């Protein structure tokens, strides 16, 4: 391991601010994670120079922006955490251009306030603009892939910087070629907007109902944003330091997509536990059927708040899909809870849930 002094010498010219032994719990929304050296980059130039320098020296890098989709182990990270703290946001015609570290909800708010639509369903999602393409962030029937125009990437193997079209990013449900990959750093993102200020067509029944609108129609973006923020707050899906239900990484498991050939077996397992006439929420998906992870967790016997008072890590009391830190949880506590839930669902229904956050130094 390179010493802190060596690192400081190496990174001085990059413009990054180096800090030793930072508890990563301070930088993640789950508020867990052991110590690491952190290089804070407040400009894109500093970010590029820092990552290039660390890569050239063969020093492991963990990119971290809002820390809202990361579960970092209690031993921290052996290497350098590059904290992306750029902030620039610019509205240009019918598009918005944001530096990677810009707060995502502030980007959405700026577009809505300026009279543009398109991003309102993605209101209230924590974290940075630059992380949104990483897992093709989505909510209420909309994904960033729907309106992303281009992404500015630093290719870490070649050191080159270039704008990339969405077609190159392999977007899928909560995934892209950027997730679980060290190949590139997102430096900036550009989204196309709806110049008439109308929302994207409402593709999610709960949201359409909240607005008293038929599915498929649009509404003024500002109205949709307000409704989304209300719905999300009721589920503990908007960060609030005073509410432990939001000390989470959002949904901890993705909704499982079961391949067509396995759907009958899963339905049979569900029927054998819950009765043949149980209504199972499912959604069409490429190559199979998407089941609701939250529904499966609850029906496997894990109620909101599981395992109950006194446990440092619990399911949110508002939403079974969020694993939460009640104040004193460690990463180990969260992993233990995640394993218990995952095993319970697998035993009852034959589906292995996959974590949505990126895990570092821990695995399920
Ligand atoms: C309360 C709550 C609600 C949430 N709701 C949703 C939701 O509705 N929909 C949804 O999709 N997600 C949701 N999330 C998850 C999370 O907010 C998103 O995934 C968000 O985009 C993560 O951004 P971040 O800046 O915090 O990323 P981080 O957690 O800092 O990083 C996540 C991953 O992306 C990588 N990364 C970060 N920035 C870059 C970059 N510039 N270039 C390359 N790689 C990068 C990191 O290395 C890491 O692997 C929620 C989380 C919370 C806590």
- Domain 4-84, CATH class in plain words: alpha beta
Please give the number of the atom of ligand 1 that sits closest to the Cα of 184.
Answer: 43
For residue 328, the model assigns a pLDDT of 97
Q: CB–CB of 170/176 below 8 Å?
A: yes
The total of other beta-carbon atoms located within 10 Å of residue 4's CB is 13
174 is known as an active-site residue: yes
| Residues whose CB falls within 8 Å of the CB of residue 311, separated by 6 or more in sequence, listed in order | 326, 333, 337
Q: What number of H helices and E strands is found in the chain?
A: 8, 18
Residue nearest atom 47 of ligand 1, based on CA coordinates? 63
To test the ligand 1 pocket, which listed residue (127, 173, 186) has its Cβ within 8 A of the most ligand atoms? 127
Residue nearest atom 39 of ligand 1, based on CA coordinates? 131
Alpha helices, DSSP H only, in the chain? Answer: 4-11, 44-56, 104-113, 205-211, 221-234, 260-274, 293-299, 331-349
Out of 128, 176, 199, 251, which one is annotated catalytic?
251
Residue 267 Cα to ligand 1 middle (Å):
32
Element of type H or E holding 283: strand 282-285
What would the DSSP string read from start to end of 180-229?
T--SEEEEEEEEE-BTT-BPPP---HHHHHHHT--TT---BHHHHHHHHH
The domain 244-360 is classified under which CATH number: 3.90.550.10, 3.40.50.300, 3.90.78.10, 3.40.930.10?
Answer: 3.90.78.10
The total of other beta-carbon atoms located within 10 Å of residue 342's CB is 20
Residue nearest atom 2 of ligand 1, based on CA coordinates? 250
Q: CB–CB of 97/114 below 8 Å?
A: no
Q: Which residues approach ligand 1 with their CB closer than 6 A?
A: 29, 63-70, 84, 100, 125-128, 130-132, 134-135, 137-139, 178, 185-186, 237, 239, 246, 248-250, 358
To test the ligand 1 pocket, which listed residue (28, 39, 104, 134) has its Cβ within 8 A of the most ligand atoms? 134
For residue 309, the model assigns a pLDDT of 92
How do the pLDDT tens digits run along the chain, 364 residues long?
678 888 998 898 999 999 999 999 999 999 999 999 999 999 999 999 999 999 999 999 999 999 999 999 999 999 999 999 999 999 988 999 999 999 999 999 999 999 999 999 999 999 999 999 999 999 999 999 999 999 999 999 999 999 999 999 999 999 999 999 999 999 999 999 999 999 999 999 999 999 999 999 999 999 999 999 999 999 999 999 999 999 999 999 999 999 999 999 999 999 999 999 999 999 988 889 999 999 999 999 999 999 999 999 999 999 999 999 999 999 999 999 999 999 999 999 999 999 999 999 999 9
Q: Which CATH architecture has domain 89-234?
A: 2-Layer Sandwich (3.30)
Q: In the chain, which residues fall in CATH 3.90.78.10?
A: 244-360
- Residue 15, SS3 per DSSP: coil
Out of 83, 152, 174, 299, which one is annotated catalytic?
174
Is residue 241 packed enough to be buried (19+ CB in 10 Å), middle (13-18) or exposed (0-12)? exposed
Q: In the chain, which residues fall in CATH 3.30.465.10?
A: 89-234
């Amino acid at each position: 391991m390179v010493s802190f002094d060596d690192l400081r010498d190496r990174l001085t010219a990059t413009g990054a601010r180096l800090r030793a032994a930072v508890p990563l719990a301070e930088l993640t929304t789950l508020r867990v994670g052991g110590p690491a050296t952190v290089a804070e980059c407040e400009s894109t130039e500093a970010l590029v120079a820092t990552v290039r320098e660390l890569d050239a020296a063969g020093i492991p890098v963990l990119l971290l922006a809002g820390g809202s989709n990361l579960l970092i182990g209690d031993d921290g990270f052996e290497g350098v955490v590059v904290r992306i703290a750029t902030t620039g946001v610019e509205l240009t015609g019918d598009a918005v251009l944001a530096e990677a570290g810009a707060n995502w909800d502030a980007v959405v708010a700026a577009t809505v306030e300026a009279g543009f639509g398109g991003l309102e369903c993605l209101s209230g999602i924590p974290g940075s603009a630059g992380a949104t393409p990483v897992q093709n962030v989505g909510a209420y029937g909309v994904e960033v892939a729907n309106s992303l125009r281009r992404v500015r990437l630093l290719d870490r193997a070649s050191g080159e910087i270039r704008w990339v079209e969405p077609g190159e990013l392999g977007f899928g449900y909560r995934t892209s070629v950027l997730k679980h990959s060290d190949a590139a750093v997102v430096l900036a993102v550009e989204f196309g907007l709806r110049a008439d200020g109308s929302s994207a067509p409402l593709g999610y029944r709960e949201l359409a109902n909240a607005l008293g609108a038929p599915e498929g129609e649009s509404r003024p973006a500002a109205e949709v944003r307000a409704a989304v923020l209300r719905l999300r707050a009721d589920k503990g899906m908007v960060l609030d330091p005073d509410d432990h239900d939001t000390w989470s990484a959002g949904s901890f498991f993705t909704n499982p997509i079961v391949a067509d050939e396995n759907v009958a077996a899963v339905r049979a397992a569900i029927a054998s536990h819950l009765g043949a006439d149980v209504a199972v929420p499912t959604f069409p998906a490429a190559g199979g059927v998407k089941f609701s992870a939250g529904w499966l967790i609850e029906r496997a016997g894990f109620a909101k708040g599981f395992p109950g008072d006194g446990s440092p890590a619990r399911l949110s009391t508002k939403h079974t899909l969020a694993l939460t830190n009640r104040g004193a949880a460690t990463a180990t506590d969260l992993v233990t809870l995640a394993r218990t839930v995952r095993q319970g669902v697998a035993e009852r229904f034959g589906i292995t849930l996959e974590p949505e956050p990126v895990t570092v130094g821990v695995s399920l």
